[in-house]
Amino acid sequence: MHADYIIIGAGSAGCAIAYRLAQAGKSVIVIEHGGTDAGPFIQMPGALSYPMSMSRYNWGFESEPEPHLGGRKMATPRGKVLGGSSSINGMVYVRGHARDFDTWADMGADGWAFADVLPYYKRMENWDAGGHGGDAAWRGTHGPLYVSRGPRDNPLVTAFVEAGVQAGYLRTDDYNGAQQEGFGPFEATIHNGTRWSAYKAYLKPAIATGRVKVVRAFARKVVIKDGRAIGVEVARKGKIEIINADAEVIVSASSINSPKLLMLSGIGPAAHLKEHGIDVVADRAGVGQNLQDHLELYIQQAATKPVSLFKYWSLLGKAFVGAQWLFTRRGVGASNQFESTGFIRSKAGVAYPDIQFHFLPIAVRYDGKAAAEGHGYQAHVGPMRSPSRGAVTLTSSNPDDAPKIVFNYMSDPEDWRDFRTCIRLTREIFGQEAFAPYRGCEIQPGAQMQTDAQLDEFIRDHAESAYHPCGTCRMGAADDPMAVVDPTCRVIGVDGLRVADSSIFPQITNGNLNAPSIMTGEKAADHILGHTPLPREAVDTWIAPDWQQAQR
């Protein structure tokens, strides 16, 4: 079995690459361990908490006990299904701030500044400005990835934006346009009331060309001969076999599995590989290092009026929502319920937003357990650019063994200062006049939690991952000893091998990572095909003129 290109992983980046390679007439085999995305739990946006907790769709990784979070093991879900994590995520669509990508370029990812990546965002988007405003000049309208906004008809959703404005922050009509900073409507990869995953947007039409074949198998390692990747060793139907690549192998297996696969293939820190009896093909110290993520807290407030989604939280209510969605693709089930957001700066001297809010018109945990208080609302809040770094390493040379994941969350004193600021700024927003008709008691952390020590205790016990791991196969200059791939996504020191997914991010971007992951696949495809990159679009992005003196 062979093709021009072998892609490991049918996730956000891998699906985009398969689509563009098929467009160019290449033959492609996509290796995916997970199965079909069929079933209402994946397709219904309102059911987003279910697929993430189902072993059928999720690799089920967890971290080692995190030393700064009281020894808690943190869930690290990654999609094991067609569409990868785009099939089990919260569907939130955030490009990232322009400065994020300019920082990538400064860190050695030449050709990945915002002016370079904006054309790829436009190429991938199918965004409709009609009816909900936004910055049409900044958006793509003919791409395969549908991006939409929820109905925003719950009064709590609009109250959050009004409260942000009352607290002295700006309003933004399109955080994916010229001005990220401020409060406004959220965007999502939802189309006609259904999740629009990378599988639906890219892989399904690619398969329809007849040039892309999906092979359901477990990738064990990349086969490298005389310094060149020639195929992939897989376990399939109880047998070990090799799928051969005539041109290149592309690893798009996630920020957890991509470094694992490289190390099992002999690419990584030499001492670590030797420790597990793996022959060293390329000594790359950065493989598995530079692990980053977003942590967040749920700040919850009780509601004095029955306006929240809690009215649907009974068995009968859920049955109604499910039936309405099943027959009409409308109603509560047709939205991920993340319909308002905010991006703000934590303090004067910060040039662009470093805090993100996800507002939700119910007080509920990500695993779907509602607050005992009944009606309520919450904001997920967390810092965007934590200085803490972790690592993904091997537990053994056996491909069946999960890797060792240590995020090292909250290992820097700055993390604690930033999180305390997040709590206090959120309380201030919830205290504004816009919430006065609904505001009950504070459920979490609770009004009694005020001192730094009390807030630190709450953070230690309740901080949750936003599920945005990245950075473990960092992109950089070819002579950078910690870089794993060069700016064309080639693995440094091995021919015919690339990595393209969130693992190559030099630094985590603002917001949710699905959009930048898909963009990475789009741009990587042009590098793989040897195409001239799309023409740069140098644009002016909004930065607060008084950012050095004022927080808002």
92-109 per-position pLDDT tens digit: 999 999 999 999 999 999
Range 49-57, long-range pairs (CB < 8 A, 24+ positions) = 49/366, 49/367, 49/368, 50/368, 51/81, 51/87, 51/88, 52/77, 52/88, 52/89, 52/366, 52/467, 53/77, 53/367, 53/368, 56/80, 56/81, 57/81, 57/87, 57/88
Is 510 annotated among the ligand-binding residues? Answer: no
Residue 107 among known ligand-binding residues: no
Residue 287: pLDDT band (50, 70, 90) is: very high
State the pLDDT confidence band at 366, using cuts at 50, 70 and 90.
Answer: low
Whether residue 91 is annotated as binding a ligand: the answer is yes
Q: Give the whole-angstrom CA distance, residue 176 versus residue 174.
A: 5
- How much is the pLDDT for 104? 98
Query: What is the mean predicted confidence (pLDDT) over 383-400?
Result: 98
What is the percentage of the chain residues whose pLDDT exceeds 70? 99
Query: Which of the two residues, 374 and 262, has the higher pLDDT score?
Result: 262
- 191 noted as active-site residue: no
From the list 380, 468, 527, 531, the catalytic residue is: 468
Q: Where are the domains of the chain?
A: 151-185+295-383+411-462
Question: Please, which pLDDT band fits residue 481 given cuts at 50, 70 and 90?
Answer: very high
- Write down the pTM of the prediction: 0.98
For 23, which DSSP code? H
Asked if residue 183 has pLDDT above 90, the reply is yes
**90 marked ligand binding residue:** yes
Q: What pLDDT band is residue 436 in, cutting at 50, 70 and 90?
A: very high
DSSP string of 512-549, one letter each residue: -SHHHHHHHHHHHHHHHHTPPPPPP---PPP--TTTTT
- Mean pLDDT for all residues in the chain: 96
Answer whether residue 453 shows pLDDT above 70. yes
Return the number of other C-beta atoms located less than 10 Å from residue 48's C-beta: 22
Q: Is the pLDDT of residue 37 over 80?
A: yes
pLDDT of residue 131: 60
CB count, 10 Å around CB of 104?
28
Specify whether domain 151-185+295-383+411-462 bears CATH 3.30.410.40: yes
Please give the average per-residue pLDDT across 211-231, as a whole number: 98
Q: What is the mean pLDDT of residues 205-219?
A: 98
Does the annotation list 398 as a binding residue?
Answer: no
- Predicted confidence at residue 256, as pLDDT, reads 98
Question: Is residue 371 pLDDT above 80, yes or no?
Answer: no
Indicate the pLDDT class of residue 268, thresholds 50, 70 and 90: very high
Q: What are 116-143's pLDDT values in tens digits?
A: 999 999 999 999 766 667 788 899 999 9
pLDDT digits (tens, 9 = 90+) for 512-541: 999 999 999 999 999 999 999 999 999 999
Among the listed ranges 230-239, 361-370, 433-442, 510-519, which one has the minimum average pLDDT value?
361-370
Say if residue 311's pLDDT is above 80.
yes
pLDDT grade, residue 370 (50/70/90)?
Answer: confident
